[in-house]
Amino acid sequence: MALPLVSKMTGNANDAVVEYYHDDVVRFLVMCSLVWAVLAMTAGVYVAAELIWPGLGFDHPWLSFGRLRALHTNGIIFGFGVSALMATAFYSVQRTCHVPLALPKLAWFTGVAWQFGVLAGGLSLLAGMNGGKEYAELEWPFDIVIALLWVYFGLVFFTTIARRKIKPIYVSNWFYGGLIIVIAMLHIVNSLAMPATWFKSYSAFPGAQDAIVQWWYGHNAVGFLLTGGFLGMMYYFLPKHADRPIWSYRLSIVAFWAFTYSYIWAGPHHLHYNSIPDWVQNLGMGMSLILLAPSWATMVNGIMTVSSAWEKLRTDPALKFIVLSLAFYGLATFEGPMMAIKSVNVVSHFTDWTIGHVHSGALGWNAMITFGTFYFLVPRLVGGKLYSVRMANAHFWMALAGTMLYVLAMWGAGVSQGLLWLSLDQIGELSFSFKDIMASMVPYYLLRLVAGLIFLAGAVMMTYNLAMTIKGRPTVKVRPPEVTAYRVDS
């Protein structure tokens, strides 16, 4: 059967050459993501230990909590998370469009330059260059580099979609597209600043406006990168791996628009009882509660997709990770709106409950969906079997144990902190000092450290397992199928 693509070199149909999907860049980004996962999680474990034994900073500024914590969060989000998102977006967009990746050299440049950007940005944070905005700590030269590379990412992605051979734009591409557009908008606006020196700048927004813009960025970075981007991953890799279409495709599209519409308003719940207008706080709370609907619709859609393939869960570690990630997604997206209710926020804000909530999402949802995807994707990229299924199964239980222990420890610590801080004696004074409350947190922090170590050990095991899977094997050549039913020209 004739191949559908004609040689671009000669334009002669008889001289047709096969155009393969560009998967080497995907393989590179997956391996980078794994390296960043191990490095950034190690930094997280170290700062967890510092909260118990502050002497671990050794009076060296590079080892101080303030610098290592930013390294941990930036390494996880921009190193591990974005590399995984770029890899899976590049992998799935070409397949769902039935064309090889557009601008492959630009894709390579973006992927490689991103890694150098994360490395240099991490070193700048260790050196104390910090803009002071959470999850946007990098100083202005890095902000410009991030914006440029993000535009290149978008160029590769949207050009591939523009060149697609089939009419429908699959739902995962809507989520990846939303990720690219919204993160560009958030990053550029929130990073507007006046440079004072090469590595110091001041925000363009004054006072409370700066806080609103920062949490508009911060919350929607969680929304469109850590939620929307990874939902794109789920909507492609779950049906692919379960070998059945998504349970309700219509629901997935409705959930996309409802999600996009409600998420963008919810940021002010980070500023409850602060000096921003009361109606803005209430609007943030209301939209956070509405957000529960599209979030749970997505979770139900994912769970129902595997509902007729439960037998695979007994033997397939990749699917186990993906299904478990959906359960944690449901948990985190229920807890978030609850914490946005002002009367609950009185207890939870400024406590470790927030840290527990963030990690139920980061470990339970983001990391697990990525682990499941990588266990499926890497053997497929090299046309072989996973080096050790047993090791992957052990990793599954370690990841589950680590996440549960982490979340439970932080719930215990956070609720205790919130209630103790609110406790007043008979004459209306605080019953407990801040110092006494924090001193009583050591057992919880020890549990959190153990949880982090278990989770990190699992990630190291996975990195070894996948490295051995890929070792010495070239990337398999795969091309678009010869499907004509819904081609653009049909």
Partner 1 sequence: MMWFLFIGDMVVMLFMVLLVIWVSLMGSDKRINVAAKIPLQDEKFDD
Which residues of this chain interact with partner 1, rule CB under 8 A? 21, 92, 95-96, 98, 166, 168, 170-172, 236, 239-240, 243-246, 249-250, 253-254, 257-258, 261, 265, 277, 279, 283, 383, 476-483, 485-486
Q: Which is nearer to partner 1, 186 or 409 (CB)?
A: 186
Q: How far apart are CA 68 and CA 154, in angstroms?
A: 30
Q: How far is the CB of 379 from partner 1 (least distance, A)?
A: 14
The residue type of 276 is I
Joined together, the tokens standing for residue 461 give 């095991």
Distance CA 251, CA 301 (A): 8
CB of 73 to partner 1, least distance (A): 31
Take residue 228 and report the two structure tokens written for it: 């929307």
User: In the complex, what is the shortest distance from the CB of residue 260 to partner 1, in angstroms, rounded to a whole number?
Assistant: 8
129: phi then psi, degrees, rounded to nearest 5: -85, 110
With respect to partner 1, which residue has the nearer C-beta, 44 or 268? Answer: 268
Distance of closest approach, residue 217 Cβ to partner 1, in angstroms: 18
Closer by beta carbon to partner 1, 22 or else 67:
22
Question: Between the CA of residue 291 and those of 85, 263, 264, 334, 368, what are the distances in Å?
Answer: 23, 7, 10, 9, 22
Closest CA to 63 of 46, 87, 88: 46
The least CB distance from residue 161 to partner 1, in Å, is 13
CB count within 10 Å of CB 148 equals 13
Asked whether 210 and 275 are in contact (CB, 8 A), the reply is no
The nearer residue to partner 1, 163 or 479, going by C-beta atoms, is 479
Rounded to the nearest whole angstrom, what is the least distance from the CB of residue 298 to partner 1 in the complex? 14
* For partner 1, the closer CB: 200 or 250: 250
Check if the beta carbon of residue 233 is closer than 8 Å to that of residue 189. Answer: no
Backbone angles phi, psi at 243, to 5 degrees: 60, 40
Q: What is the CA radius of gyration of the chain?
A: 23
Q: How many CB atoms lie within 10 A of CB 181?
A: 15
Report in angstroms the alpha-carbon separations of 335 from 229, 308, 346, 360: 20, 28, 15, 10
Q: Smallest distance from the beta carbon of 479 to partner 1, in angstroms?
A: 5
**Burial environment of residue 199 by CB neighbours within 10 A (0 to 12, 13 to 18, 19 or more):** middle
Give the DSSP letter of residue 20.
P
Nearer to partner 1, 293 or 457 (CB): 293
Q: How many CB atoms lie within 10 A of CB 172?
A: 27
| Integer Cα distance of 326 and 302 in angstroms | 7
Minimum distance between the CB of residue 168 and partner 1, rounded to whole angstroms? Answer: 4
User: 211 or 413: whose CB is closer to partner 1?
Assistant: 211
Q: For residues 431 and 490, which CB has a smaller minimum distance to partner 1 in the complex? A: 490
Contacts of 48 by beta carbon, 8 Å cutoff, 6+ apart: 445, 448, 449, 452
Taking the C-alpha atoms of residue 58 and residue 126, their distance in angstroms, rounded to an integer, is 15
Nearer to partner 1, 61 or 481 (CB): 481
Q: Least distance from C-beta 164 to partner 1, angstroms?
A: 10
CA 255 to each of CA 14, 172, 249: distance values in angstroms, whole numbers, following the listed order: 46, 12, 10
Residue closer to partner 1 by CB (options 310, 486) is: 486
Spell out the residues 6+ positions from residue 135 whose beta carbon is closer than 8 angstroms to its own: 73, 74, 77, 217, 218, 221
Q: Which is nearer to partner 1, 162 or 196 (CB)?
A: 162
> Could you tell me the smallest distance in angstroms from the CB atom of residue 286 to partner 1?
10
Provide the minimum distance between the beta carbon of 321 and partner 1 in the complex, in angstroms, as a whole number. 18
Q: How far is the CB of 120 from partner 1 (least distance, A)?
A: 36
Which residue, 253 or 346, is less far from partner 1 as judged by CB? 253
